Amino acid sequence: MRRLIRIAFRIGLGCFALVFAFLSVTFVQVWRAARNDGARPSDAIVVLGAAQYDGVPSPVLAARLDHALELYEMDIAPTIVVTGGRQEGDRFTEATAAAQYLHDRGVPDDAILRETTGRSSWESLAASARFLKDRGMTKVVLVSDPYHAARIDAIAGEVGLDAVTSPTETSPITGADEWKRFGTETLRVAAGKIFGFRRLDQTEDVGDLVPGLAML
């Protein structure tokens, strides 16, 4: 009996070590992606959506849009894709609020494409990939918060986009809140590697069973 307990303990310890090593490597990947600006000439700049308040972008969304505008003015790409649908009770979609913000700052309407149905990063990127591919556009620069970079890069690869990430440097998410996001993103990226990001996005039970894995 004692021998079985020792064997079980060693197996458990070995499994813990493997999981810890896997999560540690994934955390480093998330951290490095957050610190890397890979912007290069592309077909489009894709801005991941965030909250808007009655048509006005939240500070988080505004920081992403400001960075996308900088890239656009640097001629990184001739088109900006804004993403994000309407949350329950909202009058405007995140994409609509984002498009108006950019238009007010001099970006012409014909340089803005809107993805207005996505309610998660995977949905927004999958929908964007469909209409971009129809236009022969697959080379993109993804703009979001630093902690988000690794996951959206992986999702973009899954939906067939040739993507690099360029995180905003002015995100209002800092300090302890940012570290919390890094921890959550590590879990999400790790789970995405195992289950696939599409499956994870569409399987609510996974998020229920393992807190922090829901794809927001």
CATH superfamily of 44-165: HUPs (3.40.50.620)
pLDDT digits (tens, 9 = 90+) for 154-210: 999 999 999 999 999 999 999 999 999 999 999 999 999 999 999 988 876 544 545
The percent of residues above 90 in pLDDT, for the chain, comes to: 80
User: Tell me: the pLDDT tens digits for 24-46?
Assistant: 999 999 999 999 999 999 999 99
Q: What is the pLDDT of residue 205?
A: 52
Q: Mean of the pLDDT values across residues 58-72?
A: 98
Give CA–CA dist 186/117, Å, rounded: 26
pTM of the prediction?
0.89
From the CB of residue 170, how many other CB atoms can be counted at a distance below 10 Å?
Answer: 12
Alpha helices in the chain (DSSP H): 2-34, 59-73, 94-104, 121-134, 149-158, 175-195, 197-202, 204-209
For residue range 201-210, list pLDDT tens digits in order. 887 654 454 5
Query: Domain coordinates of the chain in residue numbers?
Result: 2-34+175-209, 44-165
* 13: helix, strand or coil: helix
Work out the burial of residue 13: count CB atoms within 10 Å of its CB; fewer than 13 is exposed, 13-18 middle, 19 or more buried.
exposed
Each residue of 26-56: b (16+ CB within 10 Å) or e?
A: bbebbbebbebbebeebbbbbbbbbebeeee
